[in-house]
A = this chain, B = another copy of it.
C-alpha cells in the first residue's frame, strides 16, 4: 500500500434556493461520489447565500484549508448569479468578457440570439481556465484550486468529465456496504471492537427502513481493499455468532 498524502476537498453550494429549503441539494452527492472515484476526499460542504462578501470570505477560507474547492451555482445570466464576479474579487483579477467563453457562446446560439443576458455568461475572471460544457454551451471555469460549476444537477454532471485531466487525485477511495436485518443497538458493541482493531478503515453504521422493514447498513471505506476485506471478515464473524441475517453485501 502506498502512503500518498490524502487529497482533500470542500464543496460550496451557492444558492438561496437551497437555504430556503425550496431545492434539495443533489450536487454534493454527484461531486463526492465522482471525486472519491479519483481519490479525492470531500471533508466539508457549506451552503451559503447569494451574497458577495459571504462568497468571497468562504472561498478564501476554504481554498487555504483544502487542496480543492468546488463551487456550484450562481453562474447563470440573472441578477442573483454573482459567483463569477465574486471569484474575480477573491483572486483580485479583472472581471469581464472571457474571449474563449465569448466565442464558444457566440457559436452556440443562433445568429441574433446571443443577447445581453446570454453574454453575461461569458463574463468571469478574464484569465480563468474554462471547464467546457457539453450540454448547454455556457462553460464553468477555474482559477488555481477553485473550480466553479453550475447549479443545475444534470449540467454539472455532464461537465465533470472535462476535469479528469485537470485534477490530481490519490488512490481511489473504496467502499463496501453490508446490509443487515438488525438494530444498531444489537451490534454497537461488536462494531466498536472492529473499529478499534481497524483504525485505518472508516466504519459507518446507518439505520434504514426499506419496504416496511428496519435494517442497518454498515459502510466500510478505505483506499486499501485488503483492509476492507479484513474488516468485512471480522464483521461477518460476529454477525454469524449473533445469528443476524445478512440482507445484501455490495
- The stretch from A30-38, A160-168, A232-240 touching chain B is A30-38
- The distance in angstroms between the C-alpha atoms of A120 and B205, with both chains bound, is 15
Total interface residues in chain A, CB < 8 Å: 63
Shortest beta-carbon distance, A85 to chain B, in Å? 14
Among A21-29, A90-98, A223-231, the stretch in contact with B: A21-29
Which of A123-131, A141-149, A186-194 makes up part of the contact surface? A186-194
> Could you mark each residue 211-229 of chain A with 1 if its beta carbon is under 8 Å from any beta carbon of chain B, else 0?
0000000010100000000
A178 CB to nearest chain B CB (Å)? 13
Interface centre among A21, A29, A32, A192 (most CB of B within 10 A): A21
Known interface pairs A79-B188, A203-B79. Does A48 touch B42 (Cβ–Cβ under 8 Å)? no
Query: Which of A74-94 touch B at CB < 8 Å?
Result: 76-80
Question: CA of A48 to CA of B189 in the docked complex: distance in angstroms?
Answer: 24
This chain: copies in complex: 2
A29 near B36 (CB under 8 angstroms)?
no
Which residues from chain B contact A175 at a C-beta distance below 8 Å? 20, 22
Chief secondary structure at chain A's binding surface? mixed
Q: Are B45 and A79 in contact (CB under 8 A)?
A: no
In the bound complex, what is the Cα–Cα distance between A154 and B115 (angstroms)?
46
Cβ B42 vs Cβ A188 within 8 A = no
Residue A99, interface by CB 8 Å: no
Q: Are B78 and A16 in contact (CB under 8 A)?
A: no
Given the complex of chains A and B, what is the CA–CA distance between A112 and B17 in angstroms? 48
Within the assembled complex, what's the spacing in Å between the Cα atoms of A192 and B205? 48
What would 7 A/B residue contacts be, using CB atoms closer than 8 Å?
Answer: A17-B204, A20-B221, A21-B36, A77-B188, A79-B188, A79-B195, A117-B185
- Nearest first, the 9 A-B pairs at minimum CB distance are A117-B185, A21-B32, A117-B188, A45-B47, A21-B33, A78-B205, A79-B192, A21-B29, A118-B185
